[in-house]
Structure 1
Amino acid sequence: MKAALLREMLGESLREQRFALGRTLREVSSGARVSLGYLSEVERGQKEASSELILAICTALELPQSELMRMVSEKLLKAETRTQNQVTVAA
């Protein structure tokens, strides 16, 4: 199993929040003042978002950065736990 990457967990969490709000990529990209294509790449974990861009996206989603970081932290913890369990079972 591949290691979890922060950019992937961040993008996944942003996409989940956007879906939960019923917002389109176009709406959020416009609100965050970032291109639709770039936002799509961030959501897919293909681009590393700067802290300024994360703030802009969170603002467009009306999502506190602290809440986003909590969501990402929980995802990373689950992924790390799965990886550790697989290593223990394989040993």
Structure 2
Amino acid sequence: MSQQTVLTGPKFAERPAPLLPPEEPLLREALGSTLRDYRGQSGFSLRELASLANVSPGYLSELERGRKEVSSELLASVCHAMGVSVASVILEAASMMALDAAAAELAADMASRAGA
């Protein structure tokens, strides 16, 4: 893990920042991947789900690929169309992010031990 220096203001001395965790996936990426997984499980094509959720297929594709931020209203519309709760999708995305972060931290720890 790396350390950064943080200036707390012009009147304060420099102090080291806390250790930063390994890079985590962005929330939009985790939500997009989770939405794609749920869509696959529900059996909808991209076009079918887009039509039911009142969004263009291109925009839904961008959401699923993590290229666009999803609004709470659109997330609710897509989830409702698939018959899943917003909470389920958010919890699944958060779990995926936590697992990815834990795996990255473990890999970094193993690499530092191998180099020591």
TM normalised by structure 1 equals 0.92
- More RCO (CA 8 Å, sep 6+): 1
- Count of residues in Structure 1 that have an aligned counterpart in Structure 2: 91
1:63 is matched with which residue?
84
Aligned-partner Cα distance in 2 for 1:81–1:51: 27
What does residue range 1-91 of structure 1 map to in structure 2 within 5 Å? 3-91=24-112
Aligned-partner Cα distance in 1 for 2:83–2:70: 18
Structure 2 gap segments, 5+ residues each: 1-21
For the aligned residue pairs, the C-alpha RMSD in angstroms reads: 1.4
Supply the AA of the counterpart residue of 1:18: R
Supply the AA of the counterpart residue of 1:77: A
Cα shift at 1:2: 5.5
Contact 2:24–2:97 under 8 Å retained in 1: no
Supply the AA of the counterpart residue of 1:50: S
**Counterpart of 2:25 in 1: which secondary structure?**
coil
TM normalised by structure 2 equals 0.74
Alignment deviations for residues 72-91 of structure 1 (CA, whole Å, 9 cap, x no partner): 11101100101111221232
Structure 1 gap segments, 5+ residues each: none
Identity level (%): 37
Which structure's residues are more often helix, by fraction? Answer: 1
Q: Which structure has the larger Rg over C-alpha atoms?
A: 2
